[in-house]
Amino acid sequence: MMIDSEQGSLRKLNIPWLGAEFSELPHEIKKSFLTHFELIKKPNNVSMLTESQIQTAIYYLNSKKHYQIDCALIICQNLNKKLIVIHHNEIVSYIQDSPNVLFCLDIESKPINILIEQIQTHFYHEYHSYLNEQNMNTSPDQLQESICGSQGKFMACLDHIQIHLHEPIKIETLADMCHCSTYYFSRQFHSIVGMSFRNYISLKRTEMAKHLLLTQPEEKISSIAFQCGFKDEAYFTRHFKKKIGITPSSYRQKYLQSN
């Protein structure tokens, strides 16, 4: 929680919320979270990890909407950020064992007060560590404003990518949005995200395809391909198999049967 040093009163601390929608949490947990925290929620929310003021975020890993966590972990690895993962029941080992995951909280088995306490403890210490780094020159209100401020030009670019994944996306367009050359934008993009612009687009389209294959089980593979920005089904199938190791239809069959 955030402490107002002048009045000695306790205030809610803003916490970045990533992953599945907050509305998908069980009612009692939602109620408790809203009592103790102010949650920062934005479209394409993984992009918040690129903001300098954000060092740790909560990632809600709902089995229905888990396709962005790989991207979140990559950004965390390259920018030395951390995730607190809240989830239902079992969680895959590569997420639980990631050095960029502080801890995982099973909301089905842990009491609500324990969930809240663990999250409060971490963000309380993180807030005071940040104040120490700023030599106490930033007031709590100014810090809140900084954390909750606009994403900036680069975050707008990530939003643009997410919104326009079904269309051709040119690096020149995003460089123009940032008022810089394509060469400079490309270098900055790789530095922040940890991969090239082209590879990031490929990753996002593959993640989107994985998600749609499982949430739209009756949709044709060709339709999934077009929704994710692939020019035709054959190219999509080759790309998907190269990245995931199996064809889109096999992926859908494998994971739908397991559920």
pLDDT tens column, 126-166: 655 554 554 445 454 443 443 333 235 776 787 788 888 88
**247 band by pLDDT with thresholds 50, 70 and 90:** very high
The CATH 1.10.10.60 domain(s) of the chain lie at: 152-258
Paired with 14 in beta bridges are 38
How open is the CA angle 182-183-187, to the nearest 5 degrees? 110
Q: Where are the alpha helices (DSSP H) in 194-247?
A: 197-215, 221-227, 233-244
Topology of 152-258 in CATH?
Arc Repressor Mutant, subunit A (1.10.10)
pLDDT of 235 above 70: yes
Query: Burial letters for 238-259: b for 16+ Cβ neighbours within 10 Å, e otherwise?
Result: ebbeeeeeeebeebbeeeeeee
Q: Between 3.40.50.2300, 1.20.1250.20, 3.90.1150.10, 3.90.220.20, what CATH number should domain 2-147 receive?
A: 3.40.50.2300
Q: Range(s) for CATH 3.40.50.2300 in the chain?
A: 2-147
pLDDT digits (tens, 9 = 90+) for 76-98: 888 888 898 988 877 888 888 88
